[in-house]
């Protein structure tokens, strides 16, 4: 990804790009393979730094973690105040906050920038989410704008906020990416097993869906994956891939931080857990072997394929609403002023979750920047309402047929929880008060109360903590 980003930079008018890798052989390979880039290669980091014009800007693309710290400290030794170090990896935003604090104390600027789009995006135009100081962005902004994807004339980059804001937003982007992928995978599974479509036929369905409101990069590539035939066996590619999904950690971080922030990103969590469940063959095998028969596939009407489309759209709205809730909560906790509309704008191109759909989120925040959830935006509320019956049919069909749909079901439960007149949370409060004197509030008067459960069961008003 680093070399593609360097090639992208080098292809822009007026840019000369210096490259450095701790393995000089790799640098030489890059030089040989891409002479057109006109790279300036350095064998040592000292030479690399000396080759940069001031203020120096270095974009680091290394594995997140200790490797990043090592390269940052090498650069910080040689850089001078006003220079800029950019970490373009998928760093944990807490690390970025720590690094920014330490580096900026020396007068050097440190920018954690989330970069999405994979290898191809890095080359052709990624979506870039830089944090760091506004001052650093003055120099860095034009450089990043020159290499970012462009949608409707707008480069897919914006200054997200100070210190770790960029990496935080990239983390949530990846969490949404996990949820979106899981929902699409569930849609595939339903079409495969309920309506009995072949992978190639499902590819055609997705291609059709990609012409409507589900249009997105992920739907597009899903069709390509499903159309692929394994050269060795002649079987659909999807049938020769081991069904155990891996992950590199950003989805887990999104959920961990959401738990800390108290934001119910249930759809993202289900996507992370679904990968984890898939990766436990030692449990899946014995459970499958212990069951004598699986439920019969429920009989469905001829509109089922379209029901799945509508369920996918409604569940997707929920996943994005939850992701944006996390961004809002993170911004409040870490003191970032994040423009949600600008985030949706720069996700329209270059990144893995790029989609037309993002335009609707831009509109929603433009209409009401403090909307309590995207689910009450008039456009999304109407879209979910029109797909609601289909959504329920799909989730119930899946349950009756024994097809796991953690993403669809969780999204529907979340929607139903927000929509319910009363939640059984009242009973949970009663249970907590019973066993732990954790107290409760009443619906009919202010104050905090406890019932003397082990005494005469009278109620007392208390100032005790409500936690």
Closest approach, Cβ 220 to ligand 6PG, in A, equals: 15
CB of 221 to ligand 6PG, least distance (A): 12
410 is in an annotated binding site: no
Q: Considering beta carbons, is residue 76 or 150 the nearer one to ligand 6PG? A: 150
Of the candidate spans 27-35, 104-112, 243-251, 286-294, the one that interacts with ligand 6PG by CB under 6 A turns out to be 243-251
Which CB atom, from 42 or from 116, has the smaller least distance to ligand 6PG? Answer: 116
Q: Is 117 annotated as a binding residue?
A: yes
Does 351 contact ligand 6PG by CB under 6 A? yes
Tell whether residue 274 is a contact of ligand 6PG (CB under 6 A): no
Out of 51, 133, 146, 247, which residue is the one contacting ligand 6PG (CB under 6 A)?
247
In terms of CB distance, is 88 or 236 closer to ligand 6PG? 88
- CA pair distance 240, 225, nearest whole angstrom: 12
194/271 with CB nearer ligand 6PG? 271
Q: Can residue 118 be called a binding residue for ligand 6PG (CB under 6 A)? A: yes
438 assigned ligand-binding residue: yes
Residues 345, 358 contacting (CB under 8 angstroms):
yes
The answer to whether 250 contacts ligand 6PG (rule: CB under 6 A) is yes
For residue 216, CA distances in Å to 151, 184, 200, 321, 338 come to 14, 11, 19, 17, 24
From 100, 170, 186, 340, the catalytic residue: 170
* Nearest Cα residue to 315 out of 206, 218, 186, 204: 186
Q: Check whether 248 is labelled as a binding-site residue.
A: yes
- Based on the shown chain and the rule CB under 6 A, indicate whether residue 248 belongs to the binding site for ligand 6PG: yes
According to the binding rule CB under 6 A, does residue 161 interact with ligand 6PG?
no
Q: Spot the catalytic one: 33, 43, 46, 177.
A: 177
* 118 labeled binding residue: yes
Contact predicate 340/160, CB 8 Å: no
The sign of the CA dihedral 90, 92, 93, 95 is: negative
Structure-token pair, residue 73: 């400290």
User: Is 445 assigned a catalytic role?
Assistant: no
Residue 90 known to bind ligand? yes
**What whole-number distance in Å separates Cα of residue 56 and Cα of residue 40?**
14
Helix (H) or strand (E) holding 460: strand 459-461
Element (H, E) at 134: helix 134-147
Residue 178 labeled ligand binder: yes
Q: How far is the CB of 443 from ligand 6PG (least distance, A)?
A: 44
Residue of minimal CB distance from ligand 6PG? 116
| Shortest distance (Å) from residue 117 CB to ligand 6PG | 5
**Which range, of 200-208, 244-252, 341-349, 447-455, touches ligand 6PG by CB under 6 A?**
244-252
Q: Which is nearer to ligand 6PG, 39 or 347 (CB)?
A: 347
Distance CA 146, CA 168 (A): 23
Assign 3-state DSSP to the chain and report helix, strand, coil percentages, each to 5.
55, 10, 35
**Residue 23 CB coordination number (10 Å):** 8
96 touches ligand 6PG by CB under 6 A: no
What tokens were used for 76? 């910080």
The answer to whether residue 170 is catalytic is yes
- Using rule CB under 6 A, residue 90 touches ligand 6PG: yes
The single residue among 3, 8, 158, 174 that binds ligand 6PG, judged by CB under 6 A, is 174
Would you count residue 251 as binding ligand 6PG (CB under 6 A)? Answer: yes
Who contacts 403 (Cβ-Cβ below 8 Å, separation ≥6)? 189, 190, 193, 194, 397
Q: Are 355 and 361 in contact (CB under 8 A)?
A: no
Instruction: Give the span between the Cα atoms of 41 and 465, in whole angstroms.
Output: 62
Q: Are 183 and 315 in contact (CB under 8 A)?
A: yes
- Residue 113 engages ligand 6PG in binding (rule: CB under 6 A): no
Which has the closest alpha carbon to 261: 337, 331, 343, 167?
A: 331
Q: Segment near ligand 6PG (CB under 6 A), from 32-40, 110-118, 185-193, 291-299?
A: 110-118
Does 432 show up as a binding residue in the annotation? yes
Binder among 177, 186, 307, 377 for ligand 6PG (CB under 6 A): 177
Closest CA to 134 of 156, 106, 166: 166
Query: 339, 165 in Cβ contact below 8 A?
Result: no
Which residues are catalytically annotated?
Answer: 170, 177
Residues belonging to the binding site for substrate are 90, 116-118, 173-174, 178, 248, 275, 432, 438
- Interacting residue ranges for ligand 6PG, rule: CB under 6 A: 90, 116-118, 174, 177, 246-248, 250-251, 351-352
């Amino acid at each position: 990804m680093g070399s593609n980003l360097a090639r992208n930079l080098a292809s822009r008018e007026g840019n000369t790009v210096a490259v450095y890798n701790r393995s000089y052989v790799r640098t030489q390979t890059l030089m040989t393979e891409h002479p057109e880039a006109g790279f300036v290669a350095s064998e040592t980091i000292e030479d690399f730094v000396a080759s940069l014009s001031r203020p120096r800007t270095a974009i680091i693309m290394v594995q997140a973690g200790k490797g990043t710290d090592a390269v940052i400290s090498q650069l910080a030794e040689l850089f001078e105040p006003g220079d800029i170090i950019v970490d373009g990896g998928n760093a944990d935003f807490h690390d970025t906050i720590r690094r920014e604090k330490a580096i900026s104390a020396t007068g050097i600027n440190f920018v954690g920038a989330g970069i999405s789009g994979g290898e191809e995006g890095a080359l052709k135009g990624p979506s870039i989410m830089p944090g760091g100081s506004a001052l650093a962005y003055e120099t860095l902004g034009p450089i990043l704008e020159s290499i970012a994807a462009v949608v409707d004339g707008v480069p897919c980059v914006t200054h997200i906020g100070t210190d770790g804001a960029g990496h935080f937003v990239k983390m949530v982007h990846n969490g949404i990416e996990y949820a979106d992928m899981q929902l699409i995978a569930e849609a595939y599974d339903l079409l495969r097993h309920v309506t009995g479509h072949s992978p190639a036929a499902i590819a055609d369905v997705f291609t059709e869906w990609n012409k409507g409101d589900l249009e997105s990069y992920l739907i597009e590539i899903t069709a390509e994956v499903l159309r692929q035939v394994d050269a060795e066996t002649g079987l659909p590619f999807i049938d020769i891939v081991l069904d155990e999904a891996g992950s590199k950690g950003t989805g887990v971080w999104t959920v961990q931080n959401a738990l800390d922030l108290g934001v119910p990103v249930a759809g993202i969590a289900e996507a992370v857990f679904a990968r984890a469940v898939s990766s436990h063959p030692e449990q899946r095998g014995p459970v499958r072997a212990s069951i004598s028969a699986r439920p019969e596939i429920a009989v469905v009407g001829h509109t089922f394929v379209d029901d799945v489309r509508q369920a996918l759209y409604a569940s997707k709205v929920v996943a994005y609403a939850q992701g944006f809730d996390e961004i809002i909560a993170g911004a409040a906790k870490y003191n970032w002023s994040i423009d949600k509309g600008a985030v949706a704008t720069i996700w329209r191109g270059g990144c893995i979750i790029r989609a037309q759909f993002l335009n609707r989120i831009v509109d929603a925040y433009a209409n009401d920047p403090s909307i309590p959830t995207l689910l009450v935006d008039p456009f999304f509320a109407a879209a979910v309402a029109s797909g609601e019956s289909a959504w329920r049919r799909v989730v119930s069909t899946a349950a009756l047929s024994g097809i796991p749909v953690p993403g669809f079901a969780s999204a529907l439960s979340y929607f139903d929880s927000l929509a319910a007149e009363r939640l059984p949370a009242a009973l949970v409060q009663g249970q907590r008060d019973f066993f732990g004197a954790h107290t409760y509030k009443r619906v009919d008067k202010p104050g905090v109360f406890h019932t003397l459960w082990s005494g005469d069961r009278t109620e007392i008003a208390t100032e005790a903590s409500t936690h």
